[in-house]
Structure 1
Amino acid sequence: MLAGLAGVCALACASALAQSSVTLYGVADAGFDYLSQVQTGNGTTASRLRAQSSDWGASRFGLLGREDIGGGYGVVFNLESGTNLMSGTAGESNGRLFSRKALVGVQNDRYGKLTMGRNLFIANDQWGLDPMLQEAYSSTALVRSRNVPITSNNIEYQSPSWGGFSLHAQYTLGNQAGGFNLGAANEVGRSDGIQITYRNYLFMLRGMYDEIRDANGRMSNVFVSSREFFAGANVYLNALTLQAAYTHLSAPDTAAGLARNADHYWAGAQYRVTPALAFDGAVYYVHVGSGAGDATHDPSGHAAMFVLGSTYSVSKRTLLYATVAHVRNASGSNFSVANNNPGTNNSNLDNPLPGRSQTGAYMGINHSF
């Protein structure tokens, strides 16, 4: 009798384990980077060499889970925190432990996935059309991180592929009384986005529209709170992938006299020489429309950035990387090779002085687990 009960318990436990799973995962990225034309105060600049985390990919750890509930449906969750390997800190300084993702939802292979919580904003999906994969020096630089925000109170739907087509939509609530578009301090206001993708063996096309409002419910800074139109394409030619994209940004609530629109273009390629060795490169260009700038807004101007990179996989989970970039600014522009804040005085001395060029390089190791 005891042996029989033990067998039933073993079968029950096996059945329960087969219906649910939790995975611990993460990325550890560390290395060195060099940056020229770093401001040191009083109009002077200098070069800097430092140890740095997350140049090639964001260091992070997380928990990913799914429980099957029958009928092809499963309850899913994802908790993910950013981390800095150089300092050992995790989360954010404001105490948000799961700074990147904290969400739960329902998934069905036929109907798609619906989740709620904190999540990467839909504009992050541009990484798949960026030859530099939204590394530290990539498509994020000349739009001041506009395409990599993270939003709270997020409702997201992702469809399965229907004949090569797929849909991705997000809606972020401000959660404030007295104004539906308002947001909490240090958070965005009501924001939203929708994306359509078509993919086959030869190419991928993606179109996107999104809006990010500030805490006052306004689109008041072209590189921070604005509306975005995006179109991009990949062409797959065996070991070579060609990539190009265009973004138009506008901020209609910007104060009078300040620049309120910008256009961003890029083109580049990824080439895998061997299964282990790959090279990538891209040219990025931004043009800010007419208008002045101030401490937190970029003025009319333009900049071009040139980036080359390489990765070498020493195993399935570990790679070595190296990247170099150079940005050339128009006389009034101060864009950096990295995704720094806009404006002339926005807590960011890594932007060069207006009109100056800047060069950056980094190398390191990236391990996934």
Structure 2
Amino acid sequence: MTNKNRRRTDAIHHARRATRLAAALVSGLAAHAAHAQSSVSLYGLLDASLIYTNNAQGHSNIQAGSGSVTGSHWGLLGREELGGGNQAIFQIENGFSVTNGTLRQGGREFGYQAYAGLSNRQFGTVTLGRQYDSVVDYLAPLSFTGRHPGGNNLSTHPYDNDNLNNSFRVNNAVKFASVSYGGVKFGALYGFSNEAGGFSDNRLYSAGASYDAGPLSFAAGYFRADNPGVSNTDGAVTLTDRTFIADLQQTYGAGVNYAIGSGRVGFVWTRTQLGGLATINGANSLGLRQNGEGASFDNFEVNAAYRLTPTLELVGSYTYTDGTLSTASGGHHPKWHDVSMQMDYFLSKRTDLYVQATYQHIASDGSGLTADISGQSPSTTDEQVAVALGLRHRF
């Protein structure tokens, strides 16, 4: 072999080695990039407070509380890029008590949510597991009681009759949530009964939509639960989560919010109908008639928020609830008035101090119902006041 041919052969070998090295580097970088596009995030919130109630079963009470405003919880959120604008996703959330460390939501390890699914950037997301219904997803953020994150636990509409404050989640659920199309989002959910021969025995289905146009937001939602949690305990709704025992519950409503400078105002209306009602908030001593009518609640909420300074926010609401109730003594029309005010002082982006006061008055119309602020023991009269002073920390 001549020197000229030898030099040519060596050059070819060097070029091949350089090519293999470049390919290995590209492959390594691609693998690293793919790994970087998969993520799992840990997050959570702790809410600890002291609560004063003027009448809790006839006695004033001062107690330590957890989740007076926002339920204490932690969770894991995972995403994996699959290419083509697709992702595999999952989310698991645990609810717990700060005061004693016990699990909430009936002792579930992941009682807030637990689901897995697929997401597409052009169309939306399909998920399967324990999830929120469409009323919670679309309408609740426009209300004071359901304002995210986590809602406002002292200021639910009576007995959280419309579930805006997430008293129950939906098991065995398949959900679709769209991406935003010019500000419009929509979605639907179906929670299976999982019962052979009883497809509608403890099932739930819902749908909702929202529209955001700059400072103006609209939303509407609907859900219906058939025989929720009564005979089939493995179905869509678990009995321990519910404030009612009834053969049927359906809720629908709509709301609007408008942002003005550093503030916003809003209005939300919901209607809940209950058939075959047996108990309200664990009480079965009212002589409730288990008939097709049962009870109904029309909730009218006006809410407002204003950022006084970069670190100080004032939020409030007034809710009027017009109810109908069928008991052994006849038909009744109780009416509730609920006023709530909350002030937040933000020590940082993740930590705030709050004080909240809630007043409830009921005109029971002979129904036997008394004032009953969420999370507190019922009053023995038609009035009840609760004041909470607390600290929230997010991570």
Q: Does 1:287 align with 2:314?
A: no
Structure 2: gaps of 5 or more residues: 1-16, 278-289
Q: Does structure 2 conserve the Cα–Cα contact (< 8 Å) formed by 1:222 and 1:261?
A: no
Q: Relative to structure 1, is the Cα distance of residues 193 and 51 closer, same or farther in structure 2, using a 3 angstrom cutoff?
A: same
Quick one: which of 379, 382, 385 aligns to 1:352? 379
Q: Does 1:71 align with 2:84?
A: yes
Q: Which amino acid aligns with 2:322?
A: H
Q: Which amino acid aligns with 1:86?
A: T
CA distance, structure 2, for counterparts of residue 109 and residue 161 of structure 1 = 10
Q: C-alpha displacement at 1:56, in angstroms?
A: 1.6
Q: Does structure 2 conserve the Cα–Cα contact (< 8 Å) formed by 1:293 and 1:299?
A: no
Q: Does 1:365 align with 2:391?
A: yes
Q: C-alpha displacement at 1:262, in angstroms?
A: 1.7
CA distance, structure 1, for counterparts of residue 125 and residue 360 of structure 2 = 40
Q: Does 1:228 align with 2:251?
A: yes
* Residues paired across the two proteins, number: 341
CA distance, structure 2, for counterparts of residue 9 and residue 209 of structure 1 = 50
Query: Within 5 Å, which residues of 2 pair with 1:259-298?
Result: 259-292=294-327
1:38-64 CA deviation, whole Å, 9 max, x = no partner? 11xxxxx10111111111211111110
Q: C-alpha displacement at 1:253, in angstroms?
A: 4.2
What residue in structure 2 maps to residue 106 of structure 1? 118
Query: Within 5 Å, which residues of 2 pair with 1:116-131?
Result: 116-125=128-137, 126-131=139-144
What residue in structure 1 maps to residue 351 of structure 2? 318
Q: Secondary structure at the match of 2:378?
A: coil
Whichever of the two has the greater Rg, that structure is 2
Q: TM-score, normalised by structure 1?
A: 0.85
Q: Does structure 2 conserve the Cα–Cα contact (< 8 Å) formed by 1:239 and 1:272?
A: yes
Q: Does structure 1 conserve the Cα–Cα contact (< 8 Å) formed by 2:136 and 2:163?
A: no
Q: C-alpha displacement at 1:265, in angstroms?
A: 0.9
What residue in structure 2 maps to residue 173 of structure 1? 192
Q: C-alpha displacement at 1:282, in angstroms?
A: 0.8
Q: Relative to structure 1, is the Cα distance of residues 90 and 252 closer, same or farther in structure 2, using a 3 angstrom cutoff?
A: closer
Q: Does structure 2 conserve the Cα–Cα contact (< 8 Å) formed by 1:59 and 1:83?
A: yes
1:263-300 CA deviation, whole Å, 9 max, x = no partner? 11110200111121100111111111142279xxx963
Q: Does structure 2 conserve the Cα–Cα contact (< 8 Å) formed by 1:142 and 1:285?
A: no
Structure 1: gaps of 5 or more residues: 40-44, 183-188, 341-349
Q: Does structure 2 conserve the Cα–Cα contact (< 8 Å) formed by 1:311 and 1:322?
A: yes
Query: Within 5 Å, which residues of 2 pair with 1:149-298?
Result: 149-182=168-201, 189-213=202-226, 214-216=228-230, 225-254=248-277, 255-256=290-291, 259-292=294-327
Q: C-alpha displacement at 1:238, in angstroms?
A: 1.4
Q: Which amino acid aligns with 1:306?
A: V
Q: TM-score, normalised by structure 2?
A: 0.79
Q: Does 1:334 align with 2:370?
A: yes
CA distance, structure 2, for counterparts of residue 91 and residue 217 of structure 1 = 23
CA distance, structure 2, for counterparts of residue 268 and residue 202 of structure 1 = 15
Q: Does structure 2 conserve the Cα–Cα contact (< 8 Å) formed by 1:190 and 1:217?
A: no
Q: Secondary structure at the match of 1:17?
A: helix
What residue in structure 1 maps to residue 10 of structure 2? none
When the two chains are superposed, the root-mean-square deviation of aligned CA atoms in Å is 2.7
Q: Relative to structure 1, is the Cα distance of residues 116 and 257 closer, same or farther in structure 2, using a 3 angstrom cutoff?
A: closer
CA distance, structure 2, for counterparts of residue 165 and residue 309 of structure 1 = 31
Q: Does structure 1 conserve the Cα–Cα contact (< 8 Å) formed by 2:274 and 2:293?
A: no
Q: Which amino acid aligns with 1:300?
A: H
Q: Does structure 2 conserve the Cα–Cα contact (< 8 Å) formed by 1:257 and 1:291?
A: no
Q: Relative to structure 1, is the Cα distance of residues 335 and 170 closer, same or farther in structure 2, using a 3 angstrom cutoff?
A: farther
Q: Relative to structure 1, is the Cα distance of residues 238 and 280 closer, same or farther in structure 2, using a 3 angstrom cutoff?
A: same
Higher share of residues assigned helix: 2
What residue in structure 1 maps to residue 48 of structure 2? 30
Q: Does structure 2 conserve the Cα–Cα contact (< 8 Å) formed by 1:320 and 1:366?
A: yes
Over the matched positions of the two proteins, sequence identity in percent amounts to 26
What residue in structure 1 maps to residue 7 of structure 2? none
CA distance, structure 2, for counterparts of residue 299 and residue 85 of structure 1 = 40
CA distance, structure 1, for counterparts of residue 332 and residue 243 of structure 2 = 10
Q: Which amino acid aligns with 1:237?
A: I
Quick one: which of 78, 95, 99 aligns to 1:82? 95
